[in-house]
Amino acid sequence: MKTTPAQKWWQTAVFYQIYPRSFADGNRDGIGDLAGMRSRLDYLKDLGIDALWLSPHYPSPMCDCGYDVSDYIGVAPEYGTLDEFKQFLDEAHQRSIRVILDLVLNHTSDQHAWFQESRSSLDNPKRDWYIWKKGKDGQPPNDWSSTFGGPAWEHDPLTDEYYYHFFFKSQPDLNWHNPQVREAMWNVVRFWFRLGVDGFRLDAVGTIFEDERWRDNKLPYTVDDMHAFSKAAHTPAEQRQVHRKWMKLFEKQVDLPGVHPLMQELRRVVDEFNDRVLVGETEDISFYGSGDDELHLSFNFPLMHTRLITPAWVRANQAARLAALPPDAWPCNTLGNHDSSRMISSFGDGEHDRELAEVNLAMLLFIKGTPFLYNGEEIGMTDYLISDINQIRDPLSNHIYNLEIKSGTDSQEAALIAARHGRDICRTPLQWKNAPNGGFCPEGVTPWLPVNPNYAQGINVEQQLADPSSLLQAYRLLLGVRKQNPALQAGEYQPVLTGSRSVLAFTRTAPGQTCLVAINYTPKNRTVRVPELNRVSRVILASKTGGHPSTGGKLVLQPYEVWVGELSGA
């Protein structure tokens, strides 16, 4: 890989998120595992992936799909063993693929040994490892809500106190004011780094601290009311009002100032090791810190907050994001993950989904910043609504289903609403071939989540590898173009054609190379006229035409074409 000397590996890398339970079943039990992931490393290498992010692989009762960790230095038995993890990590590194893990700092599982000790008595040495409060007049300590519904407090009869949980009641929040908690978690970080792990994606960074005065919200609505509000919000103005209500509901529970010194403390632990990276699940750019002393990367989630991606949307997002970043910060962009609708379902138009997926990928790979892809998007996997409530695995969906039933919704409709607003839709098993269960697991084995039946319609890896015109081949091509051109990895971004509603155009400039990128977001031919075209010395990519711009600075782009040229005089 060509890089400029100042670039870190995580600035030039393309990351690929693996949802372990759904990626590849190696032991034929219907659940993805380390053996399955290891068997697909060559596929990922050939795709052009530089780094993997694994969603939680730790032991867990799976009350929140692995984000309820019961042992931070182990491997879930259904995924394999610690030795198998080491083998997977070693084989990834042999292919020059880095690996980062999910780190859940805010809470543990209620089955974690720490919490079992904490709840055992009022004077247990680990009592203060979690947040315990006495109730008020037989009620919880305050009126705070859990983000997943219901109160944020759970009464524990054994000691007649309440513990706090921002998420499900099976996920008690750790008390990060306790230095013993900090040291225990920092030792978890050191454990995985000593094993050779390359970094962490930090889950729900902003939820770690709460208002220390524990004041009531005194609001006339709860999280469960927000579900009804969201269903009734049809216009953008109504949706913005719902968002404001949501933010108000959690202003005493999220993004409190104490998170910044904690991230600085974590960064000092990380810097004990060479060449590691911290990625935050937060769109708050303040978590980069000042002088590069907190996170290395923070997701540009606002890029995803639209129904249809357009050139104007991308330009506005980049202008705002890049201007707001601290001087030493590096951007980080994504269009999908395990908590959101799949990219093709989110941003397709129902008619040109394949074409839009390709141009959106080109945008993501070629704008400034580290791109994160989500497993399965490279073959155009789509959301899958599971209509049978008995097959739904997401506890959030089950909670929504119960709310709908209480409100009088028919059970079949309630199941569809629950599926639509849950997270199973984007977590179905990866579709490897046109075979029973999409080749994820053998015929006769029941996968942990139903496989989307559209695997039989060409949405599978095996068929797309054999098809030169497939989306998978477009991914491989575009990833290769990025990897071979330093300006597309590390260059400064400058928008071009700033008034165009049809074409996204920009330059990327690095020492020794400047590239011009032009992406036609429409189903019609579009003519691009910019002075930069007179400086084109080489056409790097022309996905439809293979053409060179004419004299006079004019280029005709075919529908949904991605064009990249190298400029002279860089």
According to the model, what pLDDT value does residue 201 have? 98
Q: How many residues does the chain have?
A: 570
CB atoms within 10 A of CB 391: 14
According to the model, what pLDDT value does residue 54 have? 98
* Strands 503-510 and 492-496, sheet pairing: antiparallel
Radius of gyration of the chain (CA): 24
If 0-12 CB within 10 Å is exposed, 13-18 middle and 19+ buried, where does residue 257 land? exposed
Closest CA to 381 of 449, 431, 309: 431
Residues sharing a CB contact under 8 Å with residue 570, sequence separation 6 or more, in sequence order:
487, 509, 512, 513, 514
The CATH number of domain 490-567 is 1.10.645.10: no
For residues 519-545, b (16+ Cβ closer than 10 Å) or e, as one string? bbbbeeebebebebbebbeebbbbbee
DSSP string across 383-416: ------GGG---HHHHHHHHHHHHTT--HHHHHH
* Per-residue tokens: 420: 């639509």
According to the model, what pLDDT value does residue 236 have? 82
* Per-residue tokens: 281: 């699940």
Say whether 203 is catalytic: yes
According to the model, what pLDDT value does residue 490 have? 96
Rounded CA separation 143/503 (Å): 50
pLDDT by residue for the chain (570 residues), tens only, comes to: 344 447 899 999 999 999 999 999 999 999 999 999 999 999 999 999 999 999 999 999 999 999 999 999 999 999 999 999 999 999 999 999 999 999 999 999 999 999 999 999 999 999 999 999 999 999 999 999 999 999 999 999 999 999 999 999 999 999 999 999 999 999 999 999 999 999 999 999 999 999 999 999 999 999 988 888 888 888 888 988 998 999 999 999 999 989 999 999 999 999 999 999 999 998 888 888 877 899 999 999 999 999 999 999 999 999 999 999 998 899 999 999 999 999 999 999 999 999 999 999 999 999 999 999 999 999 999 999 998 999 999 999 999 999 999 999 999 999 999 999 999 999 999 999 999 999 999 999 999 999 999 999 999 999 999 999 999 999 999 999 999 999 999 999 999 999 999 999 999 999 999 999 999 999 999 999 999 999 999 999 999 876 677 667 889 999 999 999 999 975
Rounded CA separation 202/57 (Å): 14
Q: What are phi and psi of 91, to 5 degrees?
A: -70, -30
Rounded CA separation 443/441 (Å): 7
Domain boundary assignment for the chain: 113-164, 218-251, 490-567
- The DSSP output letter for 4 is -
The H or E element containing residue 42 is helix 41-47
Closest CA to 131 of 212, 62, 222: 212
How far are the Cα atoms of 101, 269, 356 from residue 292, in angstroms, in the given order?
21, 14, 36
DSSP string across 166-213: SS-TTSPBB-TTSHHHHHHHHHHHHHHHHHT--EEEEETGGGS---TT
CB atoms within 10 A of CB 301: 16
Say whether 33 is catalytic: no
The amino acid sitting at 446 is: T
According to the model, what pLDDT value does residue 528 have? 92
CA pseudo-torsion sign 123, 124, 130, 136: negative
Query: Among residues 50, 173, 281, 378, which one is catalytic?
Result: 281
The H or E element containing residue 271 is none
According to the model, what pLDDT value does residue 165 have? 98
Contact 107, 70 (CB under 8 A): no
Rounded CA separation 407/402 (Å): 9
According to the model, what pLDDT value does residue 230 have? 86
DSSP string across 411-441: HHHHHHHHHHTSSGGG-SPP--SSSGGGGSS
| CA 389 from centroid of its chain's CA atoms | 26
Query: Among residues 50, 154, 203, 358, which one is catalytic?
Result: 203
Residues sharing a CB contact under 8 Å with residue 200, sequence separation 6 or more, in sequence order:
100, 101, 102, 103, 189, 192, 277, 278, 279
Contact 407, 431 (CB under 8 A): no
Contact 285, 326 (CB under 8 A): yes
Q: What angle do CA 99, 493, 365 make, to 5 degrees?
A: 40
According to the model, what pLDDT value does residue 547 have? 67
DSSP string across 313-373: HHHHHHHHHHHHS-TT---EEES--TTS--HHHHH--SSSHHHHHHHHHHHHHHSSSEEEE
Q: What are phi and psi of 390, to 5 degrees?
A: -75, -15
Closest CA to 62 of 75, 72, 76: 76
The CATH number of domain 113-164 is 3.90.400.10: yes
Closest CA to 388 of 375, 401, 405, 371: 401
- The DSSP output letter for 71 is -
